Structure 1
Amino acid sequence: MTLRVIVVDDESVTASAHAEYIRSRSGFSVIGTAFNARGAIEAIRTSFTRHEPVDLVLLDINLPDRSGYEVAKFLRAEGLPVDLLMVTADRRAASLRTATLHGAFGYLVKPFRLEDLGRKLQEYAQYRQRAGTSGEWDQASIDRLFQRQSTTSTLDLPKGLSEDTLDDLSDLLSRAKDGLSAREISEQLGLSRVTARRYLEYLHESGRVDRRSRHGTPGRPELEYSWLS
């Protein structure tokens, strides 16, 4: 079984790179790309009109004309059986829940590696294989079918870090005009400087924030962290 994919991203270079990678994966074919919500809807409609319906849409949430959530609403309103793998730079828990409510199969946070995309494609292929079997299922089989691995890294947090604090810190960094240091983060969120640095280093290692030395301050240079959008 070959699974048909449409790639939707407002950046043409990114869309092309993701489409090329998906084509390299066994069992997948890319039947279209789009750079905005209107183009996405047209590509999806066309796939059904040609009786070659798309299975999975790699859907960027932040599109220039309408959000990816609007595309998801359209699909549900039209009753089109399309699975969604949503892509966004927003990793807050509220955004993850919104994506889930819109029927997302998975959720990838920018920037992500092609290996991360490959892992989600593999999960999707396994899901479709299980869902395509016939006969009656017991509860254990149903549970396995609906099992999802988290598409964010919050469930794999190092010991001592919490999702709520990580969300608060991520929100603060994403709204800041300039980079912030562990000291500034600790003062604004009421954390110890050591704790703030642990969260910041975790985000840096996860590819969510940039880290660089801040010069021009007395004494030892501070490290400042900037959100990567």
Structure 2
Amino acid sequence: MYTVVIIEDDPMITRLNRRYVEQDSRFAVVQTFSAAHPALFWLQRNPIDLIILDVYMPQMSGTELLMQLRAKGVDADVIMVTSANDAKTVNDAVRLGAVDYLVKPFAYERFQQALEVFCRRRESVQRDSFSQDALDHTLFRQTAPAPSAAPPKGLQSQTLARIEAYLRAAPDERHTSDEIASHVGLSVVTVRRYMNYLTDRQIIGSEMDYRTGGRPCLVYFLRQ
């Protein structure tokens, strides 16, 4: 599970960001801060995976805080969530290693996409080596899927996230509908509807497995 810290001076936005993060079972919010100095002190002593960071805050701006964190060797990934949209702030954040930049207000689906990009990057850097296609897809996003839209009527974002999390836990394996249903606590019929949706969006692929010795079985796999 990825650990998350939220640094935001607006309590309402903090609660909203926390709810968005915790709808994805791959993440846990371990701390929140409303000002930069306490966050800087805490993060130097507590390694975490991801920071959700605002720009406009008391004591110092989010980009100034990010500069301080990098100078002190804190290498957590950062997603900027802010109303600041001027070119200098955006460029500074990217230069300091922000993996995504969300301008308020934004839809939940855009936040979900940012988390997905973070997970894809984290999973990719665990490889021993990269092909050019893997670099383009996982790091530079030249061939990444289009921004995530809300699932069609009858499909739930939270359920979709649970299924994707299960598949990403074993990205090189093939899975049957029965196996997925058993692990995520859904009916096989329901799982198939979600798998059809993920297949249509080219997030997963499918193929017939003829090695069962009996009736061929349809299996699903993550696209690399």
TM-score normalised by the chain length of structure 2: 0.59
Q: Which of 93, 96, 99 is 1:105 aligned to? A: 99
Cα distance in structure 1, aligned partners of 2:141 and 2:57: 26
CA distances 1:29-67 after superposition (whole Å, capped 9, x unpaired)? 1010000111221332342xxxxx211100001111100
Give the match for residue 9 of structure 2. 10
Whichever residue aligns with residue 96 of structure 1, its letter is: V
Cα distance in structure 1, aligned partners of 2:32 and 2:94: 23
Cα distance in structure 2, aligned partners of 1:38 and 1:114: 29
CA distances 1:126-166 after superposition (whole Å, capped 9, x unpaired)? 11111122x222333223332148xxxxxxxxxxxxxxxxx
Aligned sequence identity (%): 30
Cα distance in structure 2, aligned partners of 1:46 and 1:58: 18
Q: Which of 73, 95, 108 is 2:67 aligned to? A: 73
Gaps of 5+ in 2: 143-224
Whichever residue aligns with residue 9 of structure 1, its letter is: E
Tell whether 2:34 aligns with 1:41.
no
Tell whether 2:110 aligns with 1:116.
yes
* Aligned residue runs from structure 1 range 19-38, under 5 A: 19-38=18-37
- Could you say if the C-alpha distance between residues 148 and 97 of structure 1 is closer, same or farther in structure 2, counting changes exceeding 3 Å? farther
Q: Which of 123, 130, 139 is 2:132 aligned to? A: 139
Give the match for residue 58 of structure 1. 52
Q: Offset at 1:20? A: 2.3
Alignment RMSD (CA, Å): 1.7
Checking the alignment, whether the CA contact within 8 Å between 1:85 and 1:107 is kept in structure 2 is yes
Q: In structure 2, the residue corresponding to 1:61 is in which secondary structure?
A: coil
Q: In structure 2, the residue corresponding to 1:87 is in which secondary structure?
A: strand
Cα distance in structure 2, aligned partners of 1:20 and 1:118: 11
CA distances 1:97-141 after superposition (whole Å, capped 9, x unpaired)? 1211121111010111222211111111111111122x2223332
Checking the alignment, whether the CA contact within 8 Å between 1:62 and 1:88 is kept in structure 2 is yes
Q: In structure 2, the residue corresponding to 1:10 is in which secondary structure?
A: coil
Q: In structure 2, the residue corresponding to 1:5 is in which secondary structure?
A: strand
- Could you say if the C-alpha distance between residues 148 and 140 of structure 1 is closer, same or farther in structure 2, counting changes exceeding 3 Å? closer
Checking the alignment, whether the CA contact within 8 Å between 1:34 and 1:43 is kept in structure 2 is no
Cα distance in structure 2, aligned partners of 1:126 and 1:142: 11
